[in-house]
Amino acid sequence: METLLKPTLYTSEGALLGGRCTCGHVFFPMQGHGCEVCGRHGADLQPMALTGRGKLLSSTVVHLHADKARATPFTIGKIALTDGPVVRTLLVDPVQQIAPGTEMVTALVPVGTGDDGSAILDLRFKPEH
Amino acid sequence: MARTLKDLRPVYVVGVGWHRYQNPSDTPYVTLGVTAIREALADARITWPSAESAYVATALLGMASGRPMLRHLGATGIPLSHVENASASGSTAFRQACIEVASGLTDVSLAVGVDKRNPVRRDSTGMDNLAEDAIAQFTHFSLLTNEYAHRHKVSFEDIARVAVKNHRNGAKNRNAQRQQERSLDEVLGGKKVAGSLTALQCTPIGEGAAAAIVASEDGIKRLGIDPGRAIRVIGSTARSERVYAAGLGFDAVLTKETTEIALQEAQVSPQDLDIIELHDAFTVEELHYIENIGLCPEGQGVHLLKDGALDIGGRCAVNPSGGLIAMGHPIGPTGIGQIGEITLQLRGEAGARQHPKARTGLAHMVGVGAVCYVHLLQRP
């Protein structure tokens, strides 16, 4: 048994739960407040599963963090998804140097154990090859 | 057709003042604020009852902090507004004061910024996020540093030279939080924060206050203010972030579009700028912004830096106050402190930091969220 830490943001297959406006703008995460490009809202915004693939724009190894619950070092990557949006989040390897332009893909990694003993998984990115 | 600030009646900075930016202390914010205001009044050689309105810039003091401070100057009953706009809070308050005077509603207005280093509180938008809790401001700018170094084949050591220059300037500024020169080795050898960023390449958020008094020509005449020390505000432009193409840094693009409008409205070219005070909370920002303001093509900023073109006495003095890295960044005061530094420089009153023959200055601020403010000042 496995549970996702943030099931509103991604699936167990590593797809990102984004959205698409009738104007063509693709965004992440899915939301109904309104489109950042044209302001349409409601039924004009439809859920769209994003592939979870993209190119690394930049990454950095973080040495210092105020929240002690998040141990350093860890690496933050900025990824331009194939579907359009740019996301920033943790990479799987905490200290790996990855060249900008590298093809990246989502991966689910265990980050804890639930009350029922099941693994809790969170989404990260890693180089595709 | 909407009009620009320059189309309205002329507005001038007539008084500037500070409480030194400093590490967090037990000093009440009231002390910080009234110190800066009294210094600005003394600088203008006017008294508090001459101020016809007040804008108080603060991001971290909480609700309605202005009246408990201003009442100690004498409660004259003038209109009082609080302005919160993240790092650009002070710039926004200054713009509002300028607009009010330029419009003719008042002749003399005060913008004062004051802050203590309290926790930042931002309410939830109702949307979840992947790992925003793991991405501090310095991590955002470390990502940009790595992108800049990779794209333009620039070394991290050269980017860090921004901090060497700005500490050198701050060492000559009695109002700076950091008043110590630092060698490149000291800057690079400090505590590592994220990627190549070290503590001395990041602004030390602290506390302090800055005040600026603006006045119309009628106000200057009526109060007997020395017109020879009045510095005209020839442009004020504000923009907020749009949706940009993937891979474009919003801080830089937003700076470019805001500055272009400001320069065009004031009919000033980037080559006319003698002084720039800009938002160098992190070293790479100074390079991004001078390039997007138009001092040089993208990726060429390091050459100007290494040639001394950005030094006091160089082609254009960038952050002669010490900037956010050395002067400091107490949030609410910062944008007003920039106006104060430019005013001193254009009057020729900047002492050991004086840039020769300074006539035109530009103040630039970005704020989380994201907003951008540009002001242009000129000696008549």
CA B60 – CA B87 distance, rounded (Å): 11
The domain tally of chain A equals 1
Average pLDDT in chain B = 96
CA B376 – CA B268 distance, rounded (Å): 9
Task: Give the burial class of B237: count Cβ atoms within 10 A of its Cβ; 0-12 exposed, 13-18 middle, 19 or more buried.
Answer: buried
- Each residue's pLDDT tens digit, B49-58: 999 999 999 9
The amino acid at A101: G
Residues of chain A numbered 29-88 and touching chain B (CB < 8 Å)? 29, 31, 33, 36-37, 57-67, 70, 74, 76, 78, 80, 84-88
Cross-chain residue pair B191–A64, CB shorter than 8 Å = yes
- pLDDT surpassing 80 at residue B369: no
Contacts of A24 (CB under 8 A, 6+ apart): none
Which structural domains are found in chain B, ordered by start? 5-119+205-230 (3.40.47.10), 136-197+232-378 (3.40.47.10)
- Chain B contact present for A25, CB below 8 A: yes
| Residue carrying the six token digits 């980017």 | B159
Nearest to B108 by CA among B12, B42, B6: B12
CA distances to A29, A47, A127 from A8, in Å: 8, 11, 24
DSSP state of A22: T
Domain assignment of residue A66, given as a range: 2-127
- Chain A contact present for B271, CB below 8 A: no
DSSP state of B120: P
**Comparing A115-119, B41-45, B200-204, B213-217, which segment has the lowest mean pLDDT?**
A115-119
Sign of CA dihedral B189, B194, B199, B201: positive
| Residue carrying the six token digits 């979870």 | A52
ipTM: 0.93
Q: Taking a C-beta distance cutoff of 8 angstroms, is the pair A92, A125 a contact?
A: yes
What's the pLDDT score for residue A92?
95
CA B111 – CA B113 distance, rounded (Å): 7
Contacts of B248 (CB under 8 A, 6+ apart): none
- Each residue's pLDDT tens digit, B246-274: 888 889 999 999 999 999 999 999 999 99
- Each residue's pLDDT tens digit, B289-311: 999 999 999 999 999 999 999 99
Give the alpha-carbon dihedral of A80, A83, A88, A92, to 10 degrees: -90
Interface test with B, best of A58, A61, A79 (most B CBs within 10 A): A58
